[in-house]
Amino acid sequence: MRGLGWAPVHTIGEVLRGTLAGQHVQLRGWLHRNRASGQIAFPQLRDSTGVIQCVARRDSLSPEQFDAIAKLLPESSLRLQGMVRADPRAPGGFEVAVDGIEVVAAVDPARPFPLRGDEGDEFLLDNRHLWLRSTSMTAALKVRAQVFRAIDDFFAQEGYYEVQSPSFVSGACEGGSTLFKVEYGDEEQKEVYLTQSWQLYAEAMVQGLEHIYTVAPSFRAEKSRTRRHLTEFWHCEAEAAWMGNDGIMEVEERLIFHIVDWCLRTVAPELTALGRDLGTLRQVRLPFPRYRYEEAVELAASKGAEISMGEDFTYAVEKILTGDLTVPIFITHFPTAIKPFYHRPDPADPTHVLCNDLLAPSGYGEIVGAGERCVTLEELLARMQKQGIDPAPYEWYLDLRRYGAVPHAGFGMGIDRVVAWICGADHIKNVVPFPRMMRRVYP
């Protein structure tokens, strides 16, 4: 078979944009679908930029080339060349009249490519390494890539330093029930866990850098099997010195707005392909409505959710609370008893803390957890004592209150949840390449 060489080629995206009509192109990719009769074949070729319909006639190819393409199974890799023609009947408006093809690697005919998308969740998860090339996964991952870009762009614009913290940690940040214990192998260091949040380290680093952020995995041994829980998720966290709860809320909402706006500008076609209604996304405007905890409980109850005053919002409750909303909302000033030890009690009402959760609309619920931190040693020790936390492993963290502590605040945003909301995905796993859940670590 005639080799087509490894020279730079065109992309399918370029062909679909229309400027190559009437030109001869070389393409490479994977066989998306194939339909053939004795004299003519209609292979569809896919690369990372799109899918194009091709027409291969027996009389335009060598007999070996025509036979190869006619019986080629979907997901085989190949190179082809031919003339681009505008054709209104072709999906995308253009097709390629093939005059040369080279199969790079065929699919094992004993085990044809198994995935159409209707095989069921577990099957698709078992075959994640193959399902990742589906058009829906590819679209979601393109959106995901832009969300990461938007985050970096935002913090660069706001003058934040990016800084990293370790994944092996010696103390809990978000409570013991979701800690992953690690076999660390050091006799001296009995308690080693995977990090739930960079926050405690950020509170140290913020005293040198003042405005910082990170993008990193966090780990939670989540027993809850919901549409929004992973055991390993990507966490965008920020911390700022000289900032309070109101200030950090403004940073959060600007960030969310920036991400949504960025995605509308960069991946609108992918969002549309995923079935996302762009009109609803465009309704995201600043500022986001703010509700105090009690107001939010009443609002949720009025919508039929089961929640009593003093209880935390479960996923089920957040789903009802935000189901009919089109914009994110803040819930602020949670009862002190239901929030982790580091949250600062409101000086005006110490039964509540200066904190906020940001909830995405349309039933997605919490995407950001945030707030102001305890500043004085007394305040912090009192919170730890109340929650029955042994201060010993936190000695270094307590030190931060002994050496020039300043008011500071920060937040953690679940990136996978934000991507799920922006894509309109019905499960968080649909926007993560290899999702990690309690019962899923393969492949």
Binding-site member from 369, 371, 410, 414 for Mg ion (CB under 5 A): 369
Give yes or no for residue 360 binding ligand 4AD (CB under 6 A). no
Give yes or no for residue 365 binding Mg ion (CB under 5 A). no
CB of 416 to ligand 4AD, least distance (A): 5
> Position 16: which residue type?
L
CB of 19 to ligand 4AD, least distance (A): 42
Binding-site member from 32, 229, 276, 429 for ligand 4AD (CB under 6 A): 229
Candidates 43-51, 227-235, 249-257, 396-404 — which segment interacts with ligand 4AD by CB under 6 A?
A: 227-235
Separation of alpha carbons 267 and 272, rounded Å:
9
Separation of alpha carbons 207 and 434, rounded Å:
36
Query: Residue 142 binds which entry of ligand 4AD, Mg ion, none, with Cβ cut-offs from 5 to 8 Å by kind?
Result: none
Which of 423, 409, 411, 308 minimizes the C-alpha distance to 364?
A: 423
Query: Residue 253 binds which entry of ligand 4AD, Mg ion, none, with Cβ cut-offs from 5 to 8 Å by kind?
Result: none
Closer to ligand 4AD by Cβ: residue 53 or 178: 178
Binding-site member from 142, 220, 276, 319 for ligand 4AD (CB under 6 A): 220
Give yes or no for residue 233 binding ligand 4AD (CB under 6 A). yes
Q: How many residues bind to Mg ion according to rule CB under 5 A?
A: 1
Question: Would you state the structure tokens that stand for residue 31, as one six-digit string?
Answer: 């066989």
Give yes or no for residue 414 binding Mg ion (CB under 5 A). no
Q: CA distances (Å), 247 to each of 233, 241, 265, 323, 394, in order? A: 26, 11, 27, 27, 27
CA–chain centroid gap for 275, Å, is 17
> Position 405: which residue type?
A
* Torsion 351-356-362-363 (CA) sign: negative
Locate tokens 């009862």: which residue? 335
Closer to ligand 4AD by Cβ: residue 235 or 333: 235
CA within 13 Å, CB half, 130 = 16
Whether omega for the bond prior to residue 443 falls within 30 degrees of 0, making it cis, is yes
Neighbour count for residue 378 (Cβ, 10 Å): 10
Helix (H) / strand (E) containing 423: helix 415-423
CB of 237 to ligand 4AD, least distance (A): 4
Helix (H) / strand (E) containing 234: strand 232-241
Candidates 136-144, 160-168, 307-315, 408-416 — which segment interacts with ligand 4AD by CB under 6 A?
A: 408-416
Burial of 152 (C-beta count, 10 Å sphere; 0-12/13-18/19+): middle
- Mode of pairing for the β-strands spanning 329-332 and 290-292: parallel
Closer to Mg ion by Cβ: residue 65 or 245: 245
Closer to Mg ion by Cβ: residue 260 or 367: 367
Candidates 138-146, 205-213, 321-329, 367-375 — which segment interacts with Mg ion by CB under 5 A?
A: 367-375
Candidates 109-117, 119-127, 231-239, 394-402 — which segment interacts with ligand 4AD by CB under 6 A?
A: 231-239
- Per CB under 5 A, residues contacting Mg ion are 369
- Per CB under 6 A, residues contacting ligand 4AD are 173-174, 196-197, 199, 220, 222, 229-230, 233, 235, 237, 366-370, 410-414, 416-417
